[in-house]
Amino acid sequence: MTTRDRLLAVLVAALWGGNFLAIHVGLEHFPPLFLAGLRMLVIAVPALLFVPRPQVPVRWLLGYGLGFGTVQFVFLFVAMDVGMPTGLASLVLQASAPFTVLLGAVLLRERMSARQAAGIGLAVLGLAVIAVARAQSAAVLPVLLTLCGALGWAFGNLCSRLAAPLKPLHLTLWMCVVPPVPLFAMSALTEGPTAGLDSLWASFALDGLPGLGAVVYLSVFATVVGSGIWTWLLQRYPAGVVAPYSLLVPVVGIALAAIVLGERPSVVELVAAVVIVGGVMFGTPRPARATPDEVVGTEEEAPAAAA
In the chain, where are the structural domains located?
3-285
Q: Is the pLDDT of residue 301 over 70?
A: no
Residue type, 22: A
Tell me the pTM. Answer: 0.84
Contact 224, 175 (CB under 8 A): no
Give mean pLDDT, residues 249-261: 89
pLDDT in tens, 64-86: 999 999 999 999 999 999 989 89
118-153, pLDDT tens digit by residue?
A: 877 887 788 788 777 776 665 788 989 999 999 999
Sign of CA dihedral 29, 31, 32, 36: negative
Helical pair 32-50 and 209-216, crossing angle rounded to 10 deg: 50
pLDDT tens, residue by residue, 92-112? 898 887 888 788 888 877 777
CB 177 within 8 Å of CB 48: yes
Q: For residues 227 and 224, what is the distance between their CA atoms, to the nearest angstrom? A: 5
- Return the amino acid letter for 255: A
